[in-house]
Structure 1
Amino acid sequence: MNFAELGLNAELQSSAAQAGFTAPTPVQIEAIGPVLKGRDVLATAQTGSGKTAAYVLPLLQLLMAVTAPRDDAPKKRTTQVLVLVPTRELATQVSDVLRDLARPLTQSIKVGTVFGGVSINPQMMSLRSGADVVVATPGRLLDLVDHNALHLGQVQHLVLDEADRLLDLGFAEELQRILALLPTKRQNLLFSATFEPTVQTLAEALLSNPARITIAHTEAHTPDIAQRAIQVDEKSRTALLRHLIKTHAWKRVLVFVATRYACEHVANKLYKAGVFATAFHGEMSQGARQDVLAEFKEDRWEVVVTTDLAARGIDIAQLPVVVNYDLPRSATDYTHRIGRTGRAGASGEAVSFVTAATLAHWQLIQKRQKIQLPVEVLEGFEPTEVPPPVSPLNDGTGGIKGKRPSKKDKLRAAAAATKAERPEPPSE
């Protein structure tokens, strides 16, 4: 099947070809038609499957039908498409896809990109003449609305990219405020690689008779990622990582750790050992984060050590290796982490370090991922640690998300309970 058969016009077919989209992917085949027809969509497809273009291409065509030509363009554009994303990096990435696909079109379509971590003033200036499409993180979007720099009353199409993150408790209050600013009658498009059952219920509440799209991980469409698990003592993980980098001659590695402190600590230890490594986490300025990603893509860093900040919405072409130095809290996060490699038809490798303390956790991740990997032991790194005894604080769940709430989960739950007890303020 080609893009013409999916209903895209000749201009967008040409634009897609110029952007390197030679043939539609499975999620694009399933989603483009329903989006063009104005239907709500709930789409689940693995990372690297072309989800962004699956909604960008048809939305651009819908915009072309209502946007005035260049010569007759209004002085101020009205925002008709709002794309919400959970991270600054994903906002930039989605905006790049939008601009690349919109640039060859004869009609002018303006894309605005807004996110926190940088000064709000340039973003306010860029929106003075309006924007047809706004790609935003929730917090900064609300800041701009509060500054009267952006109005959402004419949005016709709402996209939640990485919808499961946006529907999570961490964004719940901001999302509800944004939804209250939008027209009741609109098209809702929810795209993600994963949808937990609890989030699925929230997603359903947003949708009206949606097209439900689930792209199964068939052999033909599953990313080519070789997965490994290596048992190692906790204190030996950095030495093992150096050993693997050297023996396999890895030139670019994305290493996931549990905390921001671990980012700096592991990156510094690697750098002192002669490995060009740097940290990437949420406490860095936006400029520093952009620099790290740009330099990593240019092969100026061998290793980037990161938190789950980089688990979603970061597309690094030809990234060969991902290492779980610390195991992710949930099987869902495991999916997103290893999905940074093996993208766009390339092959990749995902290596997970398993310590005695996290062995039960690893077994649960495997169960939920429906995988069974042999736990390797490498010569010179034979583990000596033993699993901790089972206790009320260590019940064998491995701390997997959904089994035992973290401190952050408890704080969120307490905040939600407090909010529920407060009377609703009168509407204006």
Structure 2
Amino acid sequence: MSDTTPASAAPAAPAVRFEDFGLSPDILKALAEQGYVHPTPIQAQAIPVVLQGRDVMGAAQTGTGKTAGFSLPIIQRLLAYASTSVSPARHPVRALILTPTRELADQVADNVKAYSRFTPLRSTVVFGGIDMAPQTAALRAGVEIVIATPGRLLDHVQQKTVNLSQTQILVMDEADRMLDMGFLPDLQRIINLLPKQRQNLMFSATFSPEIKKLAASFQNNPVTIEVARSNATAETVTQTIYKVDESAKLDAVGYIIRERGLKQVIVFSNTKIGASRLARQLEKDGVNASAIHGDKSQSERMAALEAFKQGQIEVLVATDVAARGLDIAELPCVINYDLPYNAEDYVHRIGRTGRAGASGDAISLFCDKDERLLVDIEKLIKKKFERAELAGFTPRTRERHERAERGERSDRGERSERGGRPERSERSRDGGAPVSRREKVDPWFLKPYEPTGVEEESTKPEILPKSNRPKPKVAALLGGMPKR
């Protein structure tokens, strides 16, 4: 973590430490184990306000520590209700943290568990895509802090496995994304289930007019905290824009990864089909890649993410929904294969790198049809990009065209000497150049038709006279009894 001076409000002293906030020794012990001593700007400003019980709207760049900014004071406030009793009644849900995606919910849950590990407080996470039974068991055992996605939480409400009547604190993390994903009706249903007297916290990297309207509907005189200009990108991230033909984007991504020697990079695609297609192409090019998107099961997404964090996968191709909230320590680079349709998503995407003061690269590819999207991004972040060409890059489609002009055999094979259709080609078994393939023809089919001779009499079946034919037997019921 960093002790950088915040950009607005009362600046924190350079030597401010977590112990200066009056946090419990149990919380400080957990922070010390993770090496956290100095708060980030958003934490330095949010923690004292949340401890006072005030409503908060916190805006900060992605990767600046918003999660600790609200989870640490929540844990501190709930310690007054902590109990070592095994009775579920002594552990009602007192704090609810809502997130838009499963990955973000799981990440927040890990942080809350780490910060509260030396306290009697219990926490659990509930999200869709996995079996409800373990979640149900955890909820019925009693937990003070629930981290959830809206849809799965309402599933548990319907099953009567969770009771929100004693919830004192509501947190909406990345609320703008929840609105983009159509969660507004679910959010309103959840808010109606909560007590009217409660503390409301909203943290996000961006605040759209829709978010401000939602906040005004349930927050009470909130304190607005902004440690940087709204929708700003981190200064530690180097942003580069390359103009590439639409048909050459696949090749360009592989070229950038090879030329820069990238061993850990997230590539963003706007569509699930595009993400899968790009991951397959990178695999064919010898890059260890995997895709995560909404059509993947939760177990598949979590396994791919864990393999990426461990370095077993070099490239993670993701859509915005799957990637929101991913926290990979010291991620060196992100690539926008597609420019996002929503300019605010650009801020979130490049926020995956350059986290907690580290440096990072954000590379974006665009073609002529993306010019409007690029202009929207420039207006949002108030920064003009310099359009550059990708030096030294030659698309494979152009290489094939140049080979054809030199008279070399193209991938589709040459036309035969008779001027017929191009012969089919296949690669040799040793992986060499394509070799021609001619289908074998059985010479029997080329022989002229020869009628067969008259069959011999011995082969003809014997035809008996009608009078000598044996009479068939007839059942008695059909009149086959002999006459008397």
Structure 1 residue aligned with 2:104:
90
Which ranges of structure 1 fall in alignment gaps of 5 or more residues? 384-428
* Alignment partner of 2:128 out of 112, 116, 131: 116
Name the residue aligned to 2:458: none
Deviation >6 Å, runs of 4+: none
Aligned length: 377
Partner of 1:171: 183
Shift in Å at residue 14 of structure 1?
2.4
Instruction: Report the CA distance between 1:2 and its aligned residue.
Output: 1.4
Q: Deviations over 1:108-132 (max 9, x none)?
A: 1110110000111111112121111
Maintained 8 Å contact 2:101/2:322: no
Distance 1:97 1:343 in 2: 16
User: 1:12, CA displacement in angstroms?
Assistant: 2.0
Counterparts of 2:41 and 2:203, CA distance in 1? 14
Residue matched to 2:398: none
Larger radius of gyration between Structure 1 and Structure 2 = 2
| Whole-angstrom CA distance in 2 between matches of 1:331 and 1:148 | 40
Secondary structure at 1:371 match in 2:
coil
Corresponding position of 2:19:
4
- Are 2:269 and 1:254 equivalent residues in the alignment? no
SS at match of 1:247: helix
Mapped pair 1:183 → 2:195: yes
Write out per-residue CA displacement over residues 52-109 of structure 1, whole angstroms, 9 at most, x where no aligned residue. 00111111111111222x2x4544320000000110001110010011011123xx11
SS at match of 2:356: coil
Cα pair distance change 1:306/1:168, threshold 3 Å: closer
CA 1:262 to 1:168, structure 2 compared with 1: closer, same or farther past 3 Å? Answer: closer
Residue 379 of structure 1 and its aligned partner are, at CA, apart by 3.4
2: CA distance, partners of 1:101 / 1:172: 30
Structure 2 match to 1:15: 30
CA distance in 2, matches of 1:244, 1:45: 30
Which residue of the partner structure matches residue 418 of structure 1?
none
2:44 to 14, 17, 29: 29
**Structure 2 residue ranges without an equivalent (≥5):** 1-15, 396-484
The within-5 A match list for 1:36-47 is 36-47=51-62
| Structure 1 length-normalised TM | 0.85
The one-character-per-residue Cα deviations of 1:204-262 (angstroms, maximum 9, x if unpaired) are 222101111011159xx935111000000001111111111111100011000110000
Alpha-carbon distance in 2 for matches of 1:378, 1:125? 54
Determine whether 1:99 maps to 2:113: yes
Over the matched positions of the two proteins, sequence identity in percent amounts to: 45
Which segment is superposed worse, 317-326 or 367-376?
A: 367-376
Shift of 1:350: 0.3
SS of the counterpart of 2:369?
Answer: helix
- The corresponding residue for 2:158 is 146
Q: Which residue of structure 2 aligns with residue 63 of structure 1?
A: 78
| CA deviation vs aligned residue, 1:2-26 (integer Å, no higher than 9, x gap) | 1232232333222222223220111
C-alpha distance in 1 between matches for 2:205 and 2:35: 22
Secondary structure of residue in 2 paired with 1:341: coil
Contact in 1 for aligned 2:279/2:291 (Cα 8 Å): yes
Q: How does 1:411-422 map to 2 (within 5 A)?
A: none
Return the letter of the residue paired with 1:79. V
Shift of 1:382: 7.7
SS in 1 for 2:152: helix
Contact preservation (8 Å) 2:279, 2:289: yes
Q: Does the 8 A contact of 2:292 with 2:301 survive in 1?
A: yes
Does residue 356 (structure 1) correspond to residue 371 (structure 2)? The answer is: no
Structure 2 counterpart of 1:192, which letter?
S
Q: 2:93 aligns with which of 79, 82, 92?
A: 79
Aligned residue number for residue 236 of structure 1: 248
Contact 2:243 2:388 in 1 (8 A): yes
Q: Distance in 1 between matches of 2:235 and 2:158?
A: 42
> Which amino acid in the other structure matches residue 136 of structure 1?
A
Instruction: Report the Cα distance in structure 2 between the residues aligned to 1:248 and 1:375, rounded to whole angstroms.
Output: 19
Structure 2: distance between partners of 1:169 and 1:87: 10
Q: Indicate conservation of the 8 Å contact 1:138/1:175, yes or no.
A: yes
Q: Does residue 1:326 correspond to 2:338, yes or no?
A: yes
For 1:35, the aligned partner's letter is V
CA distance in 2, matches of 1:168, 1:154: 29
- Does the 8 Å CA contact 1:223/1:343 hold for their aligned counterparts? no
Deviation at 1:311, TM superposition (A): 3.8
What is the root-mean-square deviation in Å for CA atoms of aligned residues?
Answer: 1.7
Shift of 1:153: 0.4
Q: Tell me whether 1:286 sits opposite 2:298 in the alignment.
A: yes
- Assess if the C-alpha contact under 8 Å between 1:320 and 1:348 holds in 2: yes
TM-score w.r.t. structure 2 length? 0.75
